[in-house]
Structure 1
Amino acid sequence: MDNHFRFHNLSRKNMSFEEIYAHIEWFISQDPKAQYILMIGTDSQIQRNGTRFITGIVIRRVGHGVWACLKKHETTKRMEHLHEKISMETFLTEEVAQLFTPEKRQRLFTLILPYIDEGSSFTLEGHLDVGKGKRNKTKIYVEEMMSRLKGYGMKARVKPDSFVASSYANRYTK
């Protein structure tokens, strides 16, 4: 697989998307009666010689832990214009979301399907590093970016509910 799609976390480096997907599938299979939220989000930081983007993937078993990984993307361009930077963050989130093809999503959903009546669920969320607050400079881009993620069948989240982008990925952009 292309080196562009290499992921890591604190315990493993250089994972392919197929390894990530297999781990998510395993994670869900350990307790298919639970509620799951698969979250993808990207944040960025302008560096001296360009812009660093970090995309996080987090699978959350509600009330019972998470497993997460991330991928780094760096450009030599300093993306100073806010719309350009937010657009690129959204694009990188969409790019990873596309790896979860309808067939892959269906396989994950099939794991929890027998337990739907017992409260099991599976949701896919896209986390955007934008907010609707009056003082937030990104508020004018919220609807545009949310509609892009919804086009991929994702539930779009913004600050303060978009912690994969605004907290997890943010931590690694520095």
Structure 2
Amino acid sequence: MADSLLFYNLSEAQMTFQDVMERLKSFVRRDPRSAYVLSVGTDSQVFRDRTKFITAIHLHRTGKGAWGCLKNHELTRPIHSLREKISLETAFSQETAAYILDGHLIEITDLLLPFTGEGADLTFEVHLDIGKKGLTKELIQEMTSRITSMGIEAKIKPDSYTAFSYANRYTK
């Protein structure tokens, strides 16, 4: 991923994708005997003159905290089509997930392998801001298929917290 694609969180700004991967590995090294869920999700907010997207990377050490970061994307027009909006959210999440799959997921997994008999585990998911209630229910099959075709588990509401909760908090 180009270094111009910068991530941030409440502690740090201007993190490159490589910086993010180092932070994730450092977080895992602090407790390699834990189970982890690494998730990517995107949410968006339509404004009068633009549409703001936030893609989140979230690493949850199950029952013991989390580390996350965000990346902004912006279109200089409002998106009025729900299908286009959800499709772009999915595409931004797919892009980030693809970069993680490109060797980085294996690096994180390798940190946990010596401890699998002691509880270490890693699940990788993409969280979509769609669910069985509301207008997005018609998009579930299409969007989840895009994720599962990458070999990644797709989560929808109410289980897609990285998109509808973490990323959503920063789209306003």
Q: TM-score when scaled to structure 1? A: 0.95
Match in the other structure for 2:141: 143
Computed over aligned residues only, the root mean square deviation of the Cα atoms, in angstroms, reads 1.0
Identical aligned residues as a percent = 44
Name the CA distance, whole Å, in 2 between partners of 1:12 and 1:102.
24
Match in the other structure for 2:69: 69
Q: TM-score when scaled to structure 2? A: 0.96
Match in the other structure for 2:170: 172
Q: What letter is aligned with 1:129?
A: D
Going by fraction, where is strand more abundant, 1 or 2? Answer: 1
Partner secondary structure for residue 144 of structure 1? helix
Which 10-residue stretch deviates more, 97-106 or 42-51?
A: 97-106
Q: List gaps (5 residues or longer) in structure 1.
A: none
Name the CA distance, whole Å, in 1 between partners of 2:75 and 2:66.
30
Deviations, residues 47-94 of structure 1 (Å, cap 9, x unaligned): 121100000110110010001110000001211100000000000000
Name the CA distance, whole Å, in 2 between partners of 1:9 and 1:144.
31
Match in the other structure for 2:156: 158
Q: List gaps (5 residues or longer) in structure 2.
A: none
Name the CA distance, whole Å, in 2 between partners of 1:152 and 1:66.
25
Match in the other structure for 2:34: 34
Q: Aligned-pair distance for 1:152?
A: 2.0
Match in the other structure for 1:124: 124
Match in the other structure for 1:86: 86
Aligned residues: 171
Match in the other structure for 2:56: 56
Q: What letter is aligned with 2:84?
A: E
Name the CA distance, whole Å, in 1 between partners of 2:165 and 2:63.
19
Name the CA distance, whole Å, in 1 between partners of 2:151 and 2:108.
15
Q: Aligned-pair distance for 1:2?
A: 4.1
Runs ≥4 residues deviating over 6 A:
none
Name the CA distance, whole Å, in 2 between partners of 1:17 and 1:60.
18
